[in-house]
Copies of this chain bind each other. A is one copy, B any other.
């Protein structure tokens, strides 16, 4: 299974209206604060790796996860090793990484609202310092068909797939 994800910058007002007229099912809204760490012994930007502490706040309180993303295995599929686990306390997890020599490099803060629409997850992201984005994503074995379907969802929401941005929010913030 591959995660197919298409992201465009877009004001949320019209998209929200379009989603609601189309009968999309609104899910939860969460706050996500991602802290990315630099390693003391190699340059993660160069090795294409990432170490992240994600703190998510929703109606039920705060929970946190730590994630390691390894370099892409091959350029075609964009597949990469990814390991993550929940942690009791995100601040303590960060302090442990700092204790052993890592340094916080960048923080990405966003408010995400999820919608379920026609087999896709549509995510309305409001990212501090970057603005509003819409992501359309699903898991699929057939990457091409899923991407075409995501483009179609964007069009039905009044958006233009050719506005697609491939950079991560972290990448955009560091630009």
A contact residues vs B (CB 8 Å cutoff):
39-42, 49, 51, 66-68, 70, 81, 83-89, 92-93, 95-96, 99-102
- Complex Cα gap A99–B81 (Å): 9
Pairwise interchain contact A96-B66, C-beta atoms closer than 8 A:
yes
CB of A98 to closest CB in B, whole Å: 9
CB of A58 to closest CB in B, whole Å: 17
Q: Of all chain B residues, which has the CB nearest A93? A: B85
Choose one: B39, B66, B95; the contact of A83 (CB below 8 Å).
B95
- Complex Cα gap A51–B98 (Å): 12
Chain B residue numbers with a CB within 8 Å of A87 are 66, 85-88
Choose one: B84, B89, B101; the contact of A92 (CB below 8 Å).
B84
CB of A95 to closest CB in B, whole Å: 4
With A49-B100, A66-B93, A100-B102 already in contact, 20 other A-B pairs whose C-beta atoms are closer than 8 Å:
A39-B101, A40-B42, A41-B41, A41-B101, A42-B101, A51-B96, A51-B100, A66-B87, A66-B96, A67-B96, A68-B100, A81-B99, A84-B92, A85-B87, A85-B89, A85-B92, A85-B93, A85-B96, A86-B88, A86-B89
Pairwise interchain contact A88-B85, C-beta atoms closer than 8 A:
yes
Chain B residue numbers with a CB within 8 Å of A68 are 95-96, 99-100
CB of A49 to closest CB in B, whole Å: 7
